[in-house]
Amino acid sequence: MSFVSCESGMGLTFLFEEMNRVKVVREKLTFEITETTAVKNLVDASDFIQEIKRLGCFFAIDDFGAGMASYAYLKQLPVDYVKIDGMFVRDLDKNIEGFKIFESMVKLIHSLNKKVVAEFVATEGLFNIVTKTNVDFVQGYYIAKPIYLSKI
């Protein structure tokens, strides 16, 4: 699975043209939008996400939990994946209260039939902790450093 961050102002026409030009396998492409960007205009964000999904791609909300009313947005944005913000992950091995919050987020997201991505998994210890919560995917330096798509 490849995650593609959408920059502000990126239009559907441009995306469609690029996907045709590069000949990507759309079913393996997941776009992501930060929670704060999505909530600036929920209607436009929701429409944009639905159009991307109609093209055969998937969509993720990034930095989940960084906003003030994150849970309210989950039911309004038709995303496939929710990437829990790294601030909830990086200290899980040192903080039982943080672990309980993280675990509750994973359960809630799964109950909405969405997949969970844990960000900032930088050590084996964090990897072992987040996998106990049944996250679907992990990102972080423990797995691999980010690379350009052109280097794959």
User: pLDDT, tens digit, for every residue of 9-44?
Assistant: 567 788 888 888 887 788 888 888 887 788 788 888
The DSSP bridge partners found for residue 137 are 117
Is 51 a residue whose pLDDT tops 80?
yes
User: pLDDT, tens digit, for every residue of 68-119?
Assistant: 556 777 877 889 999 998 989 998 988 889 899 999 999 999 999 999 999 9
pLDDT band at 2 (very low <50, low <70, confident <90, very high): very low
The mean pLDDT of 113-135, rounded to a whole number, is 95
Is 150 a residue whose pLDDT tops 80?
no
Average pLDDT score over the chain: 84
Predicted local distance difference test score (pLDDT) of residue 24: 78
pTM for the structure as a whole: 0.68
Nearest to 81 by CA among 102, 101, 100, 106: 106
Nearest to 62 by CA among 133, 130, 111, 6: 6
CA distance 46 to 50: 6
